[in-house]
Structure 1
Amino acid sequence: PGAAGGGPIDYAHPRRQTSAPLPPPPTAPSATPGQPAPPVAGDATGWSMDERLYNQIWGMFEDLARAVAAYRSAVDFAESRMEQELDRALSDPRHRMGGAGDLARERARDKCQDLTARAREALDRDLAQLAAESAVVEPALPAPYAGWDNPVWHGYRVPMELPMALRLGELHLPERTDLRIPLLVRLPLERGIWIDSGRTASEAAAATGGDRLRRLAMDSAVTLAARLLAVYPANEFSVHVIDPAGAAAGALAPLTDAGVLAAPPASGAGGVSAVLAHLTRRVDLVQMAVRAGAADSLPPDLDTGEHLLIVNDFPHGFDDRAVTQLRYLADEGPAVGVHLLMVADREDARDYGPVLDPLWRSLLRVAPVADDHLVDPWVGHAWTYEPCRVPEASRVLEQVLALVAAARRADPR
């Protein structure tokens, strides 16, 4: 039946508000016949553009891992086949000397080179497509996903809600070192982070002096803490620092000058104990409240926001009790909003022996310089990690921290 005016019946309630559907992901423009479709930023599944970009970045990571795995497998096959053919040729006494043997060896090498060249051609095609995708994705990234050289930071505003992930650094493989994939970690952090200030096996670490390496490690910790402060809403993230000998005063200057630390950096054995006792108490109280289902019974002076503890020069200034508290925070803290960021050389703690092995294993280890210590669980590639660095002579870090400090003052809690 039709309506009085002859049109179709509208069954929608006249006063019921319906939410607008989420915009569909952007679609790539039609491709030229025989050519791959041009890439588009956000061309992935997700409920928001940030989620689409997050999924797209991990898709790029997986595509690069698969492409390189296929190439390396093809090269291994070509070399194995060449060795088998050479073995068969040399196993015949008639081919060990004279032109027949040389011809067999030449044919085997030619086949190997041909297979390798075809594998490299396929890899280069895949890498070119990924590079084109990276070129459109990087400029479209929001601040939490973007490098410090991205113009998005120059238009930074303190966010009102927590993003789903944070850029920790960049990953690349030796087949194409200029193709960098952002390393994103979900927020809130699910485990602590250890910035290794020791002399690792990487060429970059070996070429860097010990003091310089420790300074770079602390610089990485400061920029990571600044990024965390910047992506959280105002006063929902606090940073504490333990610097027992005061050796990191220069590196900590961006945080201390901006006034964004929860308290001045703690030094000496007394300062170490006070900070650890404060955070341990918070973890204990929140855990008890969560288990009892009585979150509203927490003391009014307890800050329920997220907390980050930066520890420099571990284990200097730590007694056995402090070490136990630190291990407790590393194990139990992330679940209730207390996170650990350690800057340490494992060799400095060798006197503890295997007692600290669970602590090191519980932390995500990264390096202050290029280091290929991260291995993916899918194909086993050793990825080279590089931290996010602020460009030389750039004031973007200070500008962002100034905005964070102003927002914290405007919204005291």
Structure 2
Amino acid sequence: MTAELVRGQNHPLPQARLEIRVSAGTPVVAVASLGDADGRVRGVEWVAHPGAPTLPGLEVSRQAAADHRLAVDLDAVPDAAHRLDVLLALPARDGSGPLRFGTVAAPFVAVTGLSGDEIASYTLTGLDSETAVIALELYRRQGAWKVRAIGQGYAGGLAELLADQGLAGAQPLAARIQEAVARGHARSVPAPAPSPRTADADRSRQTAAPALGSDHGTASHGSTPQGAQSPVPPVPPTPPAPAYEPHSSASDGPGRSAPQQPPYPGGPGAEPTVAQPSAPSGGGPIDYSHPRRRNAAPPPPAPAAPPTAPGEPPRPVAGDATGWSMEERLYNQVWGMFEDLARSTAAYRSAVDFADSRQEKELDQVLSDPRSRIGGRGDAAREAARDRHGQLVAQAREVLDRDLAQLVAEAEVVEPALPPAYARWDNPAWQGYRVPMEIPMALRLGDLHLPEADRLRIPMLVRLPLERGLWIDSGRTPSLDGTLADSHELRHLAMETAVAHAARLLAVYPAGEFTVHIVDPAGSGARALAPLVQTGVLEAPPAAGAAGVADVLAKLTQRVDLVQMAVRGGAADALPPGLDTAQQLLIVNDFPHGFDDRAVNQLRYLADEGQAVGVHLMMVADREDSAGYGPLLDPLWRALLRLTPVADDHLADPWVGHAWTYEPSLLPEGSQVLRRVLTQVAAARRSWHP
């Protein structure tokens, strides 16, 4: 059982003797510190580092390396120690090494048993100017040990980190650690130089992009805010799942909330369950390892860009980002394009704002001079101010257009190369669809674009398994031209959007590893649900009426309870034989129609606890319909990723917080690709489980 942690989440440790594996892609220093009940490091004797690598119950590496294995025996650590922190730091630069974590691949850490089986893992994404970071924290809670993903970085390095832990003499100890690393480096065989890459081709895509929505970001100590996953044999680092959030400047309306929750449910003091199960291909215990992580050598490097004439930008190539497979390289490349467009647009808007403020200042100066208020002198000054403003804006637009041209060219080669999970419905990849054997890294839920770059669409990719439920807002969302769609037609469009998303999820999972349940109390979604019903991909027809709602919710609630008890008790193989271990998706239409108070509480429970054990929620609802519940349901709406059936600018990026226009991924008019795909899925399900 493996729990893929995100920042702030924790997981119980079932055994005391452990191994902590670190894979950073570049040499890093691994240090471990012990803390007392207050989290304070009492002295240098409580720090294991390359100069003093062993403590009772703890041993670290003696020099900087790209891969580390730290030995831990929790039963042997001093009784006064209630916390064990795993610290990573970049060694002192020798003139060629990286200066900060933001320029290297995201470090990956895993807690394993002595057999090598992973218990929990964490990818440290979102780092920037930090040179030292607290990766993991092992801590006592009510007599048992747990591990928590921390990811708190320090721009001041180990000295600042250790001082923040209350260690007296942090600066001298940090110097001794770097000195010990330097001595170890002098004794070691130098590593081969990395292959050269142009700055434009790399474009800082060494790690996956941070989570969308700066509302959820938490500032790392002494650094910029963070966002939204190899030992021997090497284990590829897996990028995190982006968590798209409402735009932070929006008003407090449906999905445009006030301040959002922290990146893990329940706040800093919460104790959430963090396992992200993926269903096995057959019977037996649930496999909690991520399907994309492999104990194998990395694939060949990304293809190089074709040569260009001197002075010309490099020609774009699909899959030129860092990654262990073409799928991961494309994923990272899409997020690199996303960041590039966000930052280029931010630079353009900043230049325009400067031009506006300069023009306003110059015009104020003209008006403040009585001699320029009359005659041609004032007119000439005003005209000169406008000309300067136009020149500045034109220069900024020229730079933006140059960046856009490069990004559009890149999109033109990337879009046709995307696999079905990432592709639009009109992509030829769907024409040759076959039921996959493995779960993909991510799923496309639509497109994002900005008004300054309307011709460029960035795929909106979310990681799998889903880390948040989805809310398809069927409320009266104004379209971009300011008009309001008809209420009944909008509800139908919302249901069609939900069906398209559900079909994608069914299509990208292997046969038998994804199950869809539908609650449609009044039957109002029958027309939109026809493709799912008629192709036979559903285990049961949509549940109708209050009795149908109660039956479906009771079954899914029971499943969550059983899996939670099995996971917490370390007995996943003791689940009932008839339990469906596949990922579950519950589609709810017309909420709260057909829901009594008990059903509402069960739905909230599934939204809070279901994601961690493979039960996902998709709401097709107008928030105003449930206004009678008051603030009771606010946590439910905030826990879901709000999407719309029509274009709407309610999502923000994590870098500068632009309001991006979201467009749902819908089928072309008259296309039969959805039914063909679902027919293949249904046939594969029948052959897998006759």
Structure 1: distance between partners of 2:516 and 2:464: 16
Look up the SS of the partner of 2:367 in the other structure.
helix
Name the SS for the 1:185 alignment partner. strand
Which residue pairs with 2:646 in the alignment?
A: 369
Question: Greater relative contact order (Cα 8 A, min sep 6): structure 1 or 2?
Answer: 1
Amino acid at match of 1:146: A
Give the conservation status (yes or no) of the 8 Å contact 2:479–2:485: no
Say if 2:478 and 2:484, in contact at 8 Å, map to a contact too.
no
Look up the SS of the partner of 1:260 in the other structure.
coil
Q: Cα deviation per residue 1:218-244 (whole Å; 9 max; x = unaligned)?
A: 000001100000000001000000000
Q: Which residue of 1 aligns with 2:595?
A: 318
Equivalent of residue 445 in structure 2, options 160, 168, 178 = 168
TM-score normalized by structure 2?
Answer: 0.57
* Residue of structure 1 aligned with 2:348, choices 71, 76, 88: 71
Give ranges in structure 2 of 5+ residues lacking alignment.
1-294
Kept after mapping to 1: 8 A contact 2:650/2:662: yes
Equivalent runs, 1:65-144 vs 2, <5 Å: 65-144=342-421
- How far apart are 1:203 and its partner, in Å? 3.1
Residue pair 2:470, 2:641 contacting (<8 A) in 1 also: yes
User: Residue in 2 aligned with 1:272?
Assistant: 549
- 1:291-319 Cα offsets, whole Å, 9 max, x none, are 11100010011111100000000000001
1:100: Cα distance to partner? Answer: 1.2
1:29 aligns with 2:299: no
Shift of 1:19: 6.9
1:202 offset after TM fit, Å? 3.5
How far the C-alpha of 1:205 sits from its partner, in A, is 7.7
Higher relative helix content: 1
**Post-superposition offset of 1:20:** 6.5
**8 Å Cα contact 1:95/1:101 also seen in 2:** yes
Q: Distance in 1 between matches of 2:379 and 2:318?
A: 54
1 or 2, which has the higher strand percentage?
Answer: 2
Q: Does 1:245 align with 2:522?
A: yes
The residue that corresponds to 1:360 in the other structure is 637
Q: How many residues align?
A: 396
Give the one of 319, 323, 328 matched to 2:605.
328
Deviation at 1:119, TM superposition (A): 0.4
Inter-partner Cα distance in structure 2 for 1:380 and 1:19: 38
Letter aligned with residue 222 of structure 1: V
Deviates more, 1:56-65 or 1:90-99: 90-99
What SS class does the counterpart of residue 211 from structure 1 fall into?
helix
Aligned partner of 2:673 in structure 1 is 396
Deviations 1:344-370 (A, max 9, x none): 001111111111100000000010000
Alpha-carbon distance between aligned partners in 1 of 2:489 and 2:298, rounded to the nearest angstrom: 53
Give the residue type in structure 1 aligned to 2:466: L
1 CA distance for matches of 2:595 and 2:647? Answer: 30
Cα distance in 2, alignment partners of residues 79 and 112 from structure 1: 7
2:148 equivalent to 1:148: no
Matches within 5 A, 1:140-289: 140-203=417-480, 206-289=483-566
Give the superposition deviation at 1:96. 1.3
User: 1:6 corresponds to which residue?
Assistant: none
Instruction: Report deviation, 1:376.
Output: 1.7
Change (3 A) 1:333 1:20: closer
CA distance in 1, matches of 2:482, 2:556: 33
For 2:559 and 2:686, how far apart are their aligned partners in 1?
Answer: 23
Distance in 2 separating the partners of 1:330 and 1:191: 8
Q: CA 1:297–1:48 in 2, change beyond 3 Å: closer, same or farther?
A: same
Q: The residue matched to 1:250 in structure 2 has which SS? A: helix
Q: Deviations over 1:236-270 (max 9, x none)?
A: 00000000001111110000001111211001000
- 2: CA distance, partners of 1:208 / 1:202: 7
2:585 to 308, 324, 337: 308
Quick one: distance in 1 between partners of 2:683 and 2:323?
Answer: 33
Match of 1:291 among 540, 547, 568: 568
**Equivalent-residue separation in structure 1 for 2:497 and 2:569 (angstroms):** 39
Shift of 1:207: 3.8
Identity %: 72
Comparing 88-97 with 312-321, greater Cα deviation is found at 88-97
Give, as a single letter, the amino acid of the residue that structure 2 aligns with 1:144.
Answer: A
| CA deviation after TM superposition for structure 1 residue 393, in Å | 1.4
- The DSSP-based 3-state class of the residue aligned with 1:178 is coil
Report the equivalent of 2:338: 61
| Contact persistence 1:241–1:266 (CA under 8 A) | yes
List gaps (5 residues or longer) in structure 1.
1-17
For normalisation by structure 1, the TM-score amounts to 0.94
Indicate the SS of the match to 2:377: helix
Cα pair 2:298 2:324 within 8 Å, conserved: no
After TM superposition, give the deviation of residue 21 of structure 1 in Å: 5.3
Superposition CA RMSD, Å: 1.3
Q: Is the 8 A contact 2:477 2:484 kept in 1?
A: no
